[in-house]
Copies of this chain bind each other. A is one copy, B any other.
Amino acid sequence: MLSHDHKKCINKSINLAHKIANSKAAKLTPQRLQVLRILLAGHKALGAYDILEIMREQQSEGQSRPQPPTVYRALEFLLNLNLIHKVESQNSYYACMIEKDVNEQHLAQAFICDNCGNVEEKIAETGARNLYEKADSFGFKIEHVIMECRGICASCQLV
């Protein structure tokens, strides 16, 4: 899935992140941006402690050694802005890869390769409509939807 210009992809995402943060008067601090960048480095889902380790590797002189709450706070912030998503079925996190407008909502479907870890994110359309209709039919009010597909991606099937 790295058939695209990933540097451009990252820059686009970071620009959008700044816009979204500004529009909500939320502060995309260096630390939060660092976590976002770590996730944007690849279209893979990483665990919180994987991210922590990378933060420690990237740690420069004079900075204090990051601790778990640091990661979880950044993740929470980014999740709230919908800049990242959590893969509930594996306790991991990936950067949103949907090209969207500021304020645009989207219901994500994640296709996670259990071989290489890549995540392909799609927008749920029909599938989501179906869920909301079904919920309506018995009076359930949906607050949050989780749609994840675990499996093997195209390139991993070739091997």
Report how far A141 CA is from B116 CA in the complex, Å: 13
Q: Taking A88-B88, A126-B130, A127-B130 as contacts, is the C-beta distance between A146 and B148 under 8 angstroms?
A: yes
A111 (CB) vs chain B CBs: closest residue: B140
Q: Of B89, B122, B126, which one neighbours A146 at CB under 8 angstroms?
A: B89
Query: Which one of A36-44, A61-69, A93-101, A149-157 is at the interface?
Result: A149-157
Interface string of A3-36 (1 = CB under 8 A from B): 0000000000000000000000000000000000
Contact of A149 (CB < 8 Å), options: B111, B140, B153: B140
How many of A's residues come within 8 Å of B, CB to CB? 33
Contact check, A146 vs B146: say whether CB atoms are below 8 A apart. Answer: yes
- CB contacts under 8 Å to B, within A119-151, are 120, 122, 125-127, 130-131, 134-135, 138-151
